[in-house]
Structure 1
């Protein structure tokens, strides 16, 4: 930058030959005394060293020489005054460059006005003096004037003994701001340190040298294509005008500009910038978050994160945030399908052996076939042994049979990690567009977190776990938007998420028209504040499960959710020996404070379905309290049932089953236990039959009588009051849902009888 060129600023003083009336013997201000007509000043038209010059005899203590023209001064600009002088005769003086600083109104600004003096030591020797004047206190600036002056009068002072005669060449004033560019603009260019930028020459050393020299300034990667053959870490701020090219395994770590904007500029496209930034996220500790800068990144195929970063295990917290990933149309998203014969034994419940064509079965493939529960995946394979490791056991597939393996494709695929802990994805939209699935988790891991995200139109799955990488999974405040919203509910196939391990926290999510919201194969889960709806516009529509729990004793809290046109299914379909055999049976489930709604469904619809895959199971620990059940555009028979397709429940072993304080609208039969039944006996009898079968959960047995309270007097046929108490016979009638009250005589009256379907202790 040189404003004498760019802005036309006039800096150079007039030559002495233009007249000494332009040169002052005072400060150079208007009205100050000029040298014109002075006996001690004369123009010399020709000098062997200077051509035209001024000859001046020193008569004053400080003999001043100032140009009376105003030299512009601006903040950030730097002026250099150059003077060439020689002694001719008489006493030898000292000389210094000097100036006077002025404001716009012409008043003086008190600033340093003289540079160091130089003594003239011989006659005829040309001495050159230079001084730089500018606003900033920088190395090399002789007169620091700050920002207040707007012009200056420049020249020299002669000091020392009087009487000497000197000759002075025309004074030069020039703009030298470019001397300070490197510091003023706060950048260091990689080309200044040897970078070539031809896309072929290895510029790694030049980048590292530039970064080392930055010292607080910004590294500028100026225009060009720079080949970096190995890892480069830039500790300074960096700005890319050019781009870089690196081998796939080499990493560029921009530690002060770790965001997608920087990496897009560095690598030329948002996709490659995203890949490179995600790669580096796993390799330095200065940053735990890779910010997509609110940008949309178009993906042409799945991102295999483990392969991208070259790791199989990572246990430190990392966060990917703030942007959108979008699947572009292409064959890379096509599902890979393999059919193979394999053998399954219940003694080795998570392995298939003797797998034909095992090499072609991809890890992460979903397994389907007879006796295979929902959401069972290939977690690992051993080609040499011909085996596949399964994410869950198979409930009814013992023997040798044919299985189908379907490998869905995901925007972000973490399945290459043998272990991945504490990875988080926040404020990100996974825009699958019906072309791809969303996320596949690592084989093993802790507390993978997805928060404040949108998983939009996944082709097959939103979030998939193929192993225990879902241990402690956290899914908070996300939206799952199905790609099958116009499809009848019974024909949908997409699933929002599944988990195999324990302790999932799934909270405050909104899930729209999937086949199923969640299939949970672990225990210790908390589902709080979610709204999932799976309805359609079909008359008497068929509904699918919204939440499937595949462990019998699942220790799960389901609270404050809005369950809309779908149901909760409780199954043991991931049990290799599904018949009850002294293990913990169905229990540990709390359903409280939820809203259950359905519209336009068949009367057979139910909101809670228990599906035992083998006989002998029972319920030990179920609390359904404080919920609202409402049906519109029709009514349903009741809210719960046992799916007896494979087996029923053993009602004789129910324990700690509570259905209470619920609200029922357009539900023909209420479900209550303990239930208090008012029985009015009009005809005197010794046996009163109290029928609670319709009220008891799952149409279970009347196993316990908690209380019998007479309402009014109990009387004989002659209206004689009796004060006897009856005893109760439970599990009466064909359905065992009745209780017999046995009196010592024929009596009539009214009682309140509290029945339970279980043994409470």
Structure 2
């Protein structure tokens, strides 16, 4: 479309100041051509084949034409403008006077600015055969730029025309022609003259084959704030198209993934659903627009449920982008899978080699091209939630999300790729992305969300992860750095199953600075597996029990870093435990690294019910020897067992190794409340000792009073509880001295006196060396 017509609207205002009506014949025949109407063609002023008749019984003034050629033409030599969105009706009234009766049709010559003809356009409308002399017959045709029903001459690409009529048939007849009328009939084709611009008026075909991209953009360019109308049809857009005005679609947009369709106004999922008529395609195209237009920071799903026949590869929605780091939000809707084989996990077993010296790499991987990024890695010596972060097919190497604790050498590994409703793993890096107020309805068919291998501050807030098949949210690499999970619900698909049979996990994280706040989590195998440090876990309620009597319990939160510098505060840990390991260490024995420390558990509620007496709430599990506690606080928590008593709240799982209790340092285990716990513990522990017979050395057993069965290393204070006396009853006022770590189990202390005495004391004993 020519720039001269930009800004002209498809309504009556188009024609303001424009004269379409030709001059009447009474004004002179010099502007009426017997040829095609172009400058230089013969006119009826000099031709002997036409004369003006001033008085006629039917016409006030008319042109009388003697038909001397097989096709006699009457064309106005004025240039009638052709304007996109404006439809012209050319009307002529004729009557035969004598001679052979001709056929009559509206005709025209199409031209471009500069005078060049436009090839390929229809030159005439439907013909009417005259059958009687003296009978007035009206012929008409509509000329316009849009391919609409009722348009007789589709003139797309023309700037102007010379219009009139043709007389065809035998020669020798005489015909009189009334003044030819040209009028704007755009209102016939426009439902709302003041608000709609129709893409067909600018050449859109809607046939599913023609590229209508240019027509869409031209229509948008002239809309100037009004709505662009896309009527019924399939409109193929084989290019990027950006619409600045509101768009209303009755027809369907068809566009390949590499091209963008950006709606700058009225941007939301409903608008794209209206355009593409398919929920999956609409979501992909709306997301593509979200990351390619700066004026919209969020995609509103309008409360819609989006049914997905397969996982959405989010990066493939716009293949041109592999890295994205601008804040964007998807909010207010629901995703659900349509059951089918597309959701079945892909499982590959392949041989590979591992060396702790290159702790994040598998080498010499057989059939590596069959192994997808994001696959869960399982095998001997592989900790929980280790994933394929990236693949180098040429080098036959895989980069892992975490090290392996005991996998030196070659072995067969199993790679399982779960299928996620939204899968961001195709990105190299994705940062500042937010999912808000969305329900991910896995229905036991699909997992929820897979993150990119790298990125910062992914935020999931006010969302429901409902019945994921395998995983709620998975991080296959470092895309969880600074991740925030706020006020979400994770609801397992395995709620009826006993704990021992569950396999699903709420989420995992490998990177640092994760914030987990105010979430509610129901009956997974594990709530989460956390491999990073700097994690804040506050205000959450996770419960993972079952209806079994004396049921098995598993870890709810799994910490896989021995020194996570993390905090649990104000949580409700219900029928599971906090499990603290170093399973993501390539050399899990103690070396130069920090040992188990940097963890604070304060102000939480721990509850269990209907479990065996050996159930616990805090479990430390070293995967290699030499480790010890070095800075650990358990303060102000409530530990309760209902429907049965448990032995104690804490233990060390010695499956692989025990702790070195002689090196315990900085352990604060105090201010806690114990209900139905047989052996409450604290450090320091305040104990009583009654010495019934006189002795120089009192052997005081701490029993089970210290956490994790720790060594009784130091006696901080001793206070007599009543008189200390010798064998003759004389009160002794001397100060005793203490020795810690006594006895075969190092859990006794000796209180030494200068003389043999008896009596009672209260004393405070510690299992650690204070900082």
Distance (Å, rounded) in 1 between the aligned partners of 2:718 and 2:632: 25
3-state SS, counterpart of residue 595 of structure 2: coil
Equivalences for residues 6-405 of structure 1 within 5 A? 178=187, 185-310=194-319, 311-405=321-415
Deviation at residue 342 of structure 1 after TM alignment: 0.9
Structure-2 residue corresponding to 1:688: 698
Equivalences for residues 395-434 of structure 1 within 5 A? 395-434=405-444
Q: What is the aligned length?
A: 595
Structure-1 residue corresponding to 2:605: 595
Distance (Å, rounded) in 2 between the aligned partners of 1:268 and 1:234: 18
Equivalent pair of 1:623/1:659 in contact (CA under 8 Å): yes
Structure 2 vs 1, CA of residues 177 and 266 (structure 1 numbering), >3 Å: closer, same or farther?
closer
3-state SS, counterpart of residue 265 of structure 1: helix
Distance (Å, rounded) in 2 between the aligned partners of 1:651 and 1:725: 29
Equivalent pair of 2:306/2:334 in contact (CA under 8 Å): yes
Over residues 509-550 of structure 1, what are the superposed CA-to-partner deviations in whole Å (9 max), with x where a residue is unaligned? Answer: 111100000000000001111111111111110011101000
Equivalent pair of 1:182/1:188 in contact (CA under 8 Å): no
Deviation at residue 227 of structure 1 after TM alignment: 1.4
Deviation at residue 718 of structure 1 after TM alignment: 1.9
Equivalent pair of 1:464/1:497 in contact (CA under 8 Å): yes
Distance (Å, rounded) in 2 between the aligned partners of 1:567 and 1:625: 16
3-state SS, counterpart of residue 276 of structure 1: helix
Over residues 408-447 of structure 1, what are the superposed CA-to-partner deviations in whole Å (9 max), with x where a residue is unaligned? Answer: 1111111111100001101111111111111110010000
Equivalent pair of 2:314/2:426 in contact (CA under 8 Å): yes
Deviation at residue 179 of structure 1 after TM alignment: 9.9
Deviation at residue 180 of structure 1 after TM alignment: 13
| 1:541 aligns to 2:539 (yes or no) | no
Equivalences for residues 557-576 of structure 1 within 5 A? 557-576=567-586
Distance (Å, rounded) in 2 between the aligned partners of 1:269 and 1:543: 45
Distance (Å, rounded) in 1 between the aligned partners of 2:343 and 2:449: 13
Equivalent pair of 2:187/2:193 in contact (CA under 8 Å): no
Over residues 298-339 of structure 1, what are the superposed CA-to-partner deviations in whole Å (9 max), with x where a residue is unaligned? Answer: 100011111221121000011111100001110001111111
Over residues 24-63 of structure 1, what are the superposed CA-to-partner deviations in whole Å (9 max), with x where a residue is unaligned? Answer: xxxxxxxxxxxxxxxxxxxxxx999999xxxxxxxxxxxx
Equivalent pair of 1:620/1:657 in contact (CA under 8 Å): yes
Distance (Å, rounded) in 1 between the aligned partners of 2:347 and 2:185: 71
3-state SS, counterpart of residue 469 of structure 1: strand
Structure-2 residue corresponding to 1:24: none
3-state SS, counterpart of residue 338 of structure 1: strand
Over residues 176-206 of structure 1, what are the superposed CA-to-partner deviations in whole Å (9 max), with x where a residue is unaligned? Answer: 9959978864222212222222222221111
Structure-1 residue corresponding to 2:729: 719
Distance (Å, rounded) in 1 between the aligned partners of 2:670 and 2:703: 16
Runs of 4+ with deviation above 6 angstroms: 46-51, 179-183
Deviation at residue 757 of structure 1 after TM alignment: 1.0
Over residues 662-695 of structure 1, what are the superposed CA-to-partner deviations in whole Å (9 max), with x where a residue is unaligned? Answer: 1111110001111111222222211112222311
Distance (Å, rounded) in 1 between the aligned partners of 2:206 and 2:371: 45
Deviation at residue 223 of structure 1 after TM alignment: 2.2
Distance (Å, rounded) in 1 between the aligned partners of 2:291 and 2:610: 51
Distance (Å, rounded) in 2 between the aligned partners of 1:650 and 1:185: 84
Structure-1 residue corresponding to 2:18: none
3-state SS, counterpart of residue 357 of structure 2: coil
Equivalent pair of 2:323/2:430 in contact (CA under 8 Å): yes
Structure-1 residue corresponding to 2:740: 730
Distance (Å, rounded) in 1 between the aligned partners of 2:705 and 2:412: 45
Distance (Å, rounded) in 1 between the aligned partners of 2:491 and 2:704: 39
Aligned-CA RMSD value = 2.1
The correspondence for 1:639, drawn from 616, 629, 649, is 649
Q: TM-score, normalised by structure 1?
A: 0.76
Please identify, of 220-229 and 475-484, the stretch whose mean Cα deviation from structure 2 is larger.
Answer: 220-229
Structure-1 residue corresponding to 2:664: 654
Structure 2 vs 1, CA of residues 266 and 176 (structure 1 numbering), >3 Å: closer, same or farther?
closer
Please identify, of 707-716 and 377-386, the stretch whose mean Cα deviation from structure 2 is larger.
Answer: 707-716
Structure-2 residue corresponding to 1:605: 615
Equivalent pair of 2:714/2:739 in contact (CA under 8 Å): no
Distance (Å, rounded) in 2 between the aligned partners of 1:743 and 1:400: 62
Structure 2 vs 1, CA of residues 210 and 510 (structure 1 numbering), >3 Å: closer, same or farther?
same
The correspondence for 2:563, drawn from 540, 553, 567, is 553
Equivalent pair of 1:306/1:417 in contact (CA under 8 Å): yes
Distance (Å, rounded) in 2 between the aligned partners of 1:478 and 1:601: 28
3-state SS, counterpart of residue 223 of structure 1: coil
Distance (Å, rounded) in 1 between the aligned partners of 2:192 and 2:372: 57
3-state SS, counterpart of residue 480 of structure 1: strand
Over residues 567-605 of structure 1, what are the superposed CA-to-partner deviations in whole Å (9 max), with x where a residue is unaligned? Answer: 110000010001111210000100011111111101111
The correspondence for 1:439, drawn from 434, 444, 449, is 449
Deviation at residue 751 of structure 1 after TM alignment: 1.6
Distance (Å, rounded) in 2 between the aligned partners of 1:196 and 1:539: 70
Distance (Å, rounded) in 1 between the aligned partners of 2:455 and 2:357: 26
| 1:501 aligns to 2:535 (yes or no) | no
Distance (Å, rounded) in 2 between the aligned partners of 1:340 and 1:223: 52
Structure 2 vs 1, CA of residues 440 and 176 (structure 1 numbering), >3 Å: closer, same or farther?
closer
| 1:620 aligns to 2:630 (yes or no) | yes
Over residues 635-688 of structure 1, what are the superposed CA-to-partner deviations in whole Å (9 max), with x where a residue is unaligned? Answer: 111000000011000001101101111111111000111111122222221111
Equivalent pair of 2:257/2:318 in contact (CA under 8 Å): no
Distance (Å, rounded) in 1 between the aligned partners of 2:381 and 2:712: 34
3-state SS, counterpart of residue 424 of structure 1: strand
3-state SS, counterpart of residue 374 of structure 1: coil
Distance (Å, rounded) in 2 between the aligned partners of 1:675 and 1:721: 27
Equivalent pair of 2:310/2:343 in contact (CA under 8 Å): yes
Equivalent pair of 1:474/1:505 in contact (CA under 8 Å): yes
Equivalent pair of 1:687/1:742 in contact (CA under 8 Å): yes
Distance (Å, rounded) in 2 between the aligned partners of 1:585 and 1:273: 51
3-state SS, counterpart of residue 358 of structure 2: coil
Deviation at residue 352 of structure 1 after TM alignment: 0.7
Distance (Å, rounded) in 2 between the aligned partners of 1:230 and 1:267: 16
Distance (Å, rounded) in 2 between the aligned partners of 1:506 and 1:693: 37
